[in-house]
Amino acid sequence: MSEEIQKFTVTIDGESIQVAPGTTILNAARQIGGKIVPPAMCYYSSLKGSGGKCRTCLVEVSKGSEKDPRPMPKLVASCSTTVMDGMEVKNITSPKVLNARKGVVEFLLLNHPLDCPICDQAGECHLQDLAFEHGVAKTRYEFKRREFDKIDIGDYIKLHMTRCILCYRCVYTANQLTDSREHGVLKRGDAAEIGTFLEKNLNNDFIGNVIDVCPVGALTDKTFRFRSRVWYTNPVDANCECNKCSGKAVLWMIGDEVARVTARKDQYGEVKEFICNECRFDKKEVAKWNIEGPRKISRHSVISANHYEQPIPEHTTLLNKA
C-alpha cells in the first residue's frame, strides 16, 4: 500500500486549501481561484527561473506556520515563496499589500509611454489592468523618461523597448524553447534593455512565442501591426496538422479573414502549448485550419464586448419598469 502524500494547509484571505509541499503561495492561490489570486507580470509557470522581478505579487504572511506562527516581517513575493503547513496569507484583505502594489505599479509606469490608444496590446494588456485597478491619476516622476527607437528584431517581430518592463519572459522563452541564445538583457540598472547580440535578428522556428509571453506591448506581431483592435476581432479555437508543434491555436478573425494567429492561453494569460512560426505567421488562410468553435473569453474582458461570449442580461424589476 502506497504512502499517502503529505499535504500542507494554507489559508489565503480566509480561504483554506491543501497543497503539496513546495507549492508557491501564488500557485496555491490559483488553485483556489477568484479575486484572491495575486497579479503576476513576470512569473510564468512553464518557464524555469521566471518570477521575483516585477514585485506585483507581493503578499503579507500573517502566520508563518503551525510550528512557527510568527508573521514574516516584510511582504514577500508569492511567486517564489513556498507555503508551510498552517500558513496564513493576506492579499486583497491587507491594506499593506494594496498600498505596496499601488507603489509597484507606479514604478512600472515610470518610463512607460501613454501608448494605449495606438498600442496593439491594448485590450489584452496586463499592465493596463493593473494600472486601472491600482494606478494613480498623476505621476510624481519629474525626470526625463527613457526613450528607445523601435527596431525590428526579426522578420515578424517589432521591439518597442520604451514599453518594456524587463520581466525577462521573452528571454527565458527564447532560451528554453530554442537551442541558441540570440537576445537578452543588455547593460544594467536604469540603462538595462532587451536587445539582440551583435545586431542579430531572432530567427528560429519558435521565436514568435516571445510575442505571446510579453505582458505589455513591447514585442508585437508585424503581420498584425495596426490592423485592428482585438475587440473588433472574433477569436476561434482551431487546429491544424503540424510536424513541429501541437497545431492548436487561436485564430483572430475579421470577417472571413484570419488577422492573426496566437497560441492558446489559460485564465492567467499563460501559454501551455507553444506554437511554431509556420502556424503563427504563414497559415493565414481559413482553409488550412480545422475550426473547433468560438474561443471562450471572460465576460469581464473587453474582447468579449458585443461578441457571442456576452450573455444576454436577465430582466430585472428595474429594467421592466415602464
What's the pLDDT tens digit per position in 118-142? 888 888 888 888 888 887 777 788 8
- Does some domain include residue 141? no
Q: Is the pLDDT of residue 311 over 70?
A: no
Do 191 and 261 share a domain, yes or no?
Answer: no
What confidence tier does 95 reach under pLDDT thresholds 50, 70, 90? very high
Query: Residue 322 pLDDT more than 70?
Result: no
Q: Tens digit of pLDDT for each residue in 188-236? A: 777 777 776 544 566 778 888 999 999 998 999 999 998 888 888 889 9
Q: How many CB atoms sit inside 10 A of residue 239's CB?
A: 15
- On the question of pLDDT at 52 being above 70, the answer is yes
pLDDT at position 300 is: 64
pLDDT of residue 31: 93
Clarify whether residues 29 and 84 are in a common domain: yes
Summarize the confidence of residues 88-99 as an average pLDDT.
Answer: 94
How many residues comprise the chain? 322
Residue 117 lies in a domain: no
318 compared with 98, residue with greater pLDDT: 98
Task: Verify that 89 and 19 share a domain, yes or no.
Answer: yes
pLDDT beyond 50 at 117: yes
Tally of structural domains, the chain: 3
pLDDT tens by residue, 17-42: 999 999 999 999 999 988 999 999 99
Are residue 21 and residue 96 in the same domain, yes or no? yes
Question: Looking at the structure, do residues 201 and 236 belong to the same domain, yes or no?
Answer: no
Domain span holding position 242: 230-304
Specify whether 16 is located in the same domain as 101: yes
